[in-house]
Structure 1
């Protein structure tokens, strides 16, 4: 019998990885910045990440999703990673966590 992996536990590991990736223009990780809208893990350990950027003209529009995909896919339990970029709803500072706002001196 193969080892069963808890998808909730895997989701937490994915979030930990996401918190190591920073927006190059803002010194806050992409998760706390509110760029990650959702993370889905299915029973085959395929991951889908729904994310946005701070603006449609973001200079890392090509490279940031690929960096995220590669880092999440490096987790042993992850089979595959699909990235979906959306601008609906558009990113705003309201999506930032309290931690991010504090880091940026907005509180």
Structure 2
């Protein structure tokens, strides 16, 4: 019998990894900062991450998506990872979690 694929559990594991990646200019992880719009996992363990950057001219526009892809691909369960950057909708401070706002003294 084929092992049932628990994409939800893998998605949660991926989110834990994303919470270890920090924006170099802001002392908050990219997940709590609201840069991750979606994490999709299919039954072949391929992952697609839809994310944004704080600005289109972000100094880590090239390196941050690469870091996300490499960190997620380092998980044993993940076959492949594709990171797609979007600016629709554009990032705003409202996308930050309460935890991030508290960390940055915005609450």
TM class by shorter-chain length?
over 0.9
Does residue 12 (structure 1) correspond to residue 16 (structure 2)? The answer is no
TM-score (norm 2): 0.97
Say how many residue pairs are matched.
Answer: 107
Equivalent residue, structure 2, for 1:51: 51
Q: Are the counterparts in 1 of residues 5 and 43 from structure 2 also a CA contact under 8 Å?
A: no
Q: Are the counterparts in 1 of residues 50 and 83 from structure 2 also a CA contact under 8 Å?
A: yes
Q: Are the counterparts in 2 of residues 48 and 84 from structure 1 also a CA contact under 8 Å?
A: yes
Gaps of 5+ in 2: none
RMSD over aligned Cα atoms: 0.9
Gaps of 5+ in 1: none
Q: Which residues of 2 match residues 64-83 of structure 1 at below 5 A?
A: 64-83=64-83
Structure 1 distance, partners of 2:42, 2:30, is: 23
Q: Are the counterparts in 2 of residues 19 and 31 from structure 1 also a CA contact under 8 Å?
A: yes
Query: Residues 75-96 of structure 1: CA distance to partner in whole angstroms, max 9, x if unpaired?
Result: 0100100110000000000000
CA drift of 1:2 comes to: 5.2
TM-score (norm 1): 0.97
CA drift of 1:56 comes to: 0.2
Q: Which runs of 4+ in 1 moved over 4 A?
A: none
